[in-house]
Amino acid sequence: MINIFLIIFSGIIVGRLFRNSRFTKYVGKIISAIIVLLLFFLGMEVGNNEQVMQNFRLIGLDAFVIALAATLGSVLCAWWVYRKFFRRKKEKNA
């Protein structure tokens, strides 16, 4: 796992060194292309994995529940921060 951090941080250093280079314009596009390739690989892994294929509905349900919780938790925290720090006095009466 230490690999991941090392790779990201070496990327950050390279990015910092070359931040004014023209090449930085293409970084977003390169990332998208690599993601397409890797999602294709992930798809192949899923299609080849009978356990995942058979439990797809259960996996989908778990995913939906986690997504709902994550969204709700964020929204509630957002509400608190908004009322405490961002809402202007005028809006309070509205």
Shortest Å distance, C-beta 85 to other proteins: 5
CA angle 29, 32, 7 (to 5 degrees): 95
The residue among 11, 10, 38, 36 whose CA lies nearest residue 24 is: 11
The CA-based angle 56-59-65, given to 5 degrees, is 140
Rounded to a whole number of angstroms, the minimum distance from the CB of residue 89 to other proteins is 14
Q: Restricting to residues 41-80, name those near other proteins by CB under 8 A.
A: 41-49, 51-53, 55-56, 58-60, 62-80
40: contact with other proteins by CB under 8 A: yes
Give me the 8-27 binding string for other proteins, x by CB under 8 A, dash otherwise. Answer: xxxxxxxxxxxx----x--x
